[in-house]
Amino acid sequence: MSEATLTRLAEEPPAPAARRALGLPAGTWPRILMPLLIGVLALSAWEIAVRVNEVPHYVLPPPSVIWATLRADWGTLSASLGITLQITFAALAVAALLGLALAVLFAQSKWIELSLFPYAVVLQVTPIVAIAPLIIVWVDDIRLALLICAWIVAFFPILSNTTLGLNSADHNLVDLFRLYRASRFQELVFLRLPSALPLFLAGLRISGGLALIGAIVAEFVAGTGGRASGLAYRILEAGYQLQIPRMFAALLLICASGIAIFLALGLVQHLALRRWHESALRREG
């Protein structure tokens, strides 16, 4: 057979160079500019409403004052942000590793999954605010207690998604591996783990936001003072002192962190899957 009879479909479609504006593909700019426009409009309306109605700053500070407070208190706030993010990322890392390890364990035997999965669900459905006080009492090291709380909130999506992914490998491919007498380890590494990767990453993306929420909630319950306290404590503290602009500034940092984590994990997902998975492909034509 001649190669000429085959259409060269495998070549990457050429990037439409003409349809780019300022280095970004056309169609990306509206996705950035439109939300930005809405944000600017809302902030302006807020600023104007507060100034016109002369609302006191301890009830609702205008955006300009929140920004000024954020800059003035950056030293304290950034230190607290660092602590909260440390706990968040540590919890996320442990959740990813343990979630993956448990899912692999579940995939080894239906019996293990049947016996243990209900307890994972129990952990998931119990409100963290209800068990955080217990954990804080039991665990001497407050940082470790916070990490455990954040981990409990974060790990379930990774576990359930990865378990599903490991079990949803193509049946014919499973047969093919059996045909070539692949070991269980080969089947896991070459077939089940790659099959589970998209769902694992989707779980990780959900868990990123949850780890931050878990860390903040646990900090609220713990209410640790002193030098090593996270953003939740700054909010509590500012609340007691009626420093409402500082509360807003801390809130702003939490929101920004959540968005940054979500976007970063989205980027990880895209980079890992862009060459083959449907979710990461641009629709052509």
**Residue numbers at the binding site for another protein (CB under 8 A):** 1-3, 5-7, 9-12, 170, 172-173, 175-182, 186, 190-191, 194, 197, 275-278, 281
Comparing CB distances to another protein, the nearer of 30 and 194 is 194
CB of 14 to another protein, least distance (A): 13
Comparing CB distances to another protein, the nearer of 92 and 201 is 201
Task: Give the integer Cα–Cα distance in Å for 279 and 84.
Answer: 31
The CA-to-CA distance between both ends of the chain, in Å, stands at 30
Comparing CB distances to another protein, the nearer of 12 and 141 is 12
Count of all residues that appear for the chain in the document? 285
Comparing CB distances to another protein, the nearer of 55 and 271 is 271
CB of 96 to another protein, least distance (A): 19
CB of 30 to another protein, least distance (A): 28
Closest CA to 160 of 150, 170, 171, 168: 168
SS3 of 21, please? strand
Task: Give the integer Cα–Cα distance in Å for 142 and 165.
Answer: 35
Q: Where are the alpha helices (DSSP H) in the chain?
A: 28-52, 63-72, 74-108, 110-125, 128-138, 142-167, 171-179, 184-187, 193-222, 231-240, 244-273
SS3 of 55, please? coil
Comparing CB distances to another protein, the nearer of 155 and 200 is 200
* Residue with the two structure tokens 């083959």: 276
Comparing CB distances to another protein, the nearer of 7 and 53 is 7
Helix (H) or strand (E) holding 188: none
CB of 274 to another protein, least distance (A): 10
Residues sharing a CB contact under 8 Å with residue 58, sequence separation 6 or more, in sequence order: 242, 244
Comparing CB distances to another protein, the nearer of 138 and 180 is 180
What single string gives the DSSP state of each residue in 56-75? -TTT---HHHHHHHHHHTHH
CB of 210 to another protein, least distance (A): 27
The DSSP 8-state label assigned to residue 183 in this structure reads: -
CB of 4 to another protein, least distance (A): 10
CB of 11 to another protein, least distance (A): 8
